[in-house]
Chain A
Amino acid sequence: MLWLTLEFPALGREAVTADAKIAVIASHGSHRWLIAPLAVDTGKSLAAGTSLADARARLPDLLLLPRQPEAEQEALQALAHRVYRFGSPVVAETIGPLEPYAVPRWRVSVEIGASLSLFGGVEPLREAVLQALLENDSSARHGIAPSRSAAALLAFVGDTEPCLQVSALRHRLSALPLASLPLPAKLLRGLQGVGLQQLGALFSLPRATLLQRFGRPLSDELDRLLAQRAEPFTAIEPPPVFAARYELHGQIENIETLLFPLKRMTQRFAAYLSARAVTCTQCLLELHHDEGAATRIPLQLLSPGREAERWFEILRERLYRAPPDRAVRELYLRADDFLPLTGSQAALFETHRLSRERQAMLEKLMARYGAGGLWQPALGADHRPEQAWRAGPVATEKMLDRTAGASPLPASRARRPLWLLPQPRPIANPAPDDLPERIETGWWDGAPARRDYHRVRLGGRSAWVYRDLDSNRWHLQGLWE
Chain B
Amino acid sequence: MIADYSLTTAMTALNASTHPSPELAALIHSGKLWRGQEPARVRTEPTGHKRLDDWLPGGGWPKAALSEVLHAEPGTGELGLALPLIAQLTQSGQHIAFINPPLVPYAPGLLQRGVALDHVLVVQPQTTAAQARGHRANDRQNESLWAAEQLLRAGYAAVLVWADVASPQALRRLQLAAEESGGQALLFRSLKRASEPSPAALRMAVRREGVLAGGSTQVQVLKSRGGSVSRAISLNL
Contact = CB atoms under 8 A, between A and B. Distances in A.
Interface of A: 321-323, 325, 354, 357-358, 360-362, 364-365, 368-370, 372-380, 385, 388-391, 394-395, 400, 403-404, 408, 411-412, 415-422, 432-434, 455-457, 459-463, 478-481
Contact of A421 (B103, B109, B147): B103
Contact of B110 (A394, A395, A418, A455): A418
Contacts of A360: 154
Nearest to B102: A419
B108 A379 contact: yes
A380 B107 CA distance: 9
Interface string B70-109: 0011111111110100000000000100000001111111
Contacts of B112: 411, 415-416
B51 interface: no
Contacts of B217: 481
B22 interface: no
A196 to B, nearest CB: 66
B103 A479 contact: yes
Nearest to A462: B213
B3 interface: no
Given A455-B213, A460-B207, A417 B109 contact: yes
Contacts of A455: 213-214
A418 B113 contact: yes
28 contacts: A321-B128, A322-B128, A362-B121, A365-B123, A369-B125, A373-B126, A375-B122, A375-B124, A377-B107, A377-B110, A389-B108, A416-B112, A417-B109, A419-B79, A420-B104, A420-B106, A421-B104, A422-B103, A433-B213, A456-B213, A457-B213, A459-B73, A460-B208, A462-B75, A479-B74, A479-B103, A481-B78, A481-B81
Interface of B: 72-81, 83, 95, 103-113, 117-126, 128-130, 147, 150-151, 153-156, 207-208, 210-215, 217, 237
Nearest to B122: A375
Contacts of A325: 129-130
Nearest to B211: A457
Nearest to A391: B122
Given A374-B124, A375-B124, 6 more contacts: A368-B125, A374-B123, A377-B107, A455-B213, A460-B207, A481-B77
Contacts of A456: 213
Given A418-B80, A421-B104, A480-B75, A462 B154 contact: no
- The 8 closest A-B CB pairs, nearest first, are A479-B75, A481-B80, A389-B107, A377-B107, A361-B154, A416-B109, A460-B208, A420-B106
Contacts of B107: 377-380, 388-390
A460 B121 contact: no
Contact of A460 (B72, B109, B124, B156): B72
Contact of B108 (A372, A416, A463, A479): A416
A357 B207 CA distance: 39
A456 B213 CA distance: 5
Q: Which of A394, A421, A460 has the most B CB atoms < 10 Å from its CB?
A: A460
A369 B80 contact: no
B106 A376 contact: no
**In terms of DSSP, what is the predominant structure of the interface of chain A?**
mixed
A480 B236 CA distance: 12
A322 B130 contact: yes
A354 B124 CA distance: 23
A432 to B, nearest CB: 8
A10 B126 CA distance: 44
Contacts of A411: 108, 111-112
Nearest to A434: B213
B155 A357 contact: yes
Nearest to B86: A418
Nearest to B79: A418
Contact of B75 (A357, A380, A388, A463): A463
Given A357-B154, A416-B112, A369 B106 contact: no
B96 to A, nearest CB: 11
A376 B237 contact: no
Given A479-B75, A481-B217, A376 B108 contact: no
Given A389-B106, A417-B109, A419-B104, A358 B76 contact: no
Contact of B105 (A385, A415, A419, A434): A419
Given A369-B124, A373-B125, A481-B79, A408 B110 contact: no
A390 B107 CA distance: 8
B121 to A, nearest CB: 6
Contacts of B113: 418
Contacts of A365: 123, 147, 150
Nearest to A479: B75
B118 A462 contact: no
A158 B208 CA distance: 81
Contacts of A390: 107
A389 B156 CA distance: 23
B116 to A, nearest CB: 9
B118 to A, nearest CB: 6
A375 B113 CA distance: 20
Contact of A480 (B72, B80, B95, B105): B80
A374 B208 CA distance: 31
A354 B111 contact: no
Given A418-B113, A419-B104, A422-B104, A370 B76 contact: no
B106 A478 contact: yes
A419 B79 CA distance: 9
A244 B83 CA distance: 49
Contact of B121 (A354, A364, A374): A374
A369 B210 CA distance: 41
Given A322-B130, A379-B117, A416-B106, A462 B150 contact: no
Nearest to A324: B130
A84 to B, nearest CB: 34
A481 B109 CA distance: 10
Contacts of A362: 121, 154
A368 B147 CA distance: 10
A410 to B, nearest CB: 11
A417 B81 CA distance: 14
A319 B83 CA distance: 37
Contacts of A361: 150-151, 153-154
A378 to B, nearest CB: 6
A403 B106 contact: no
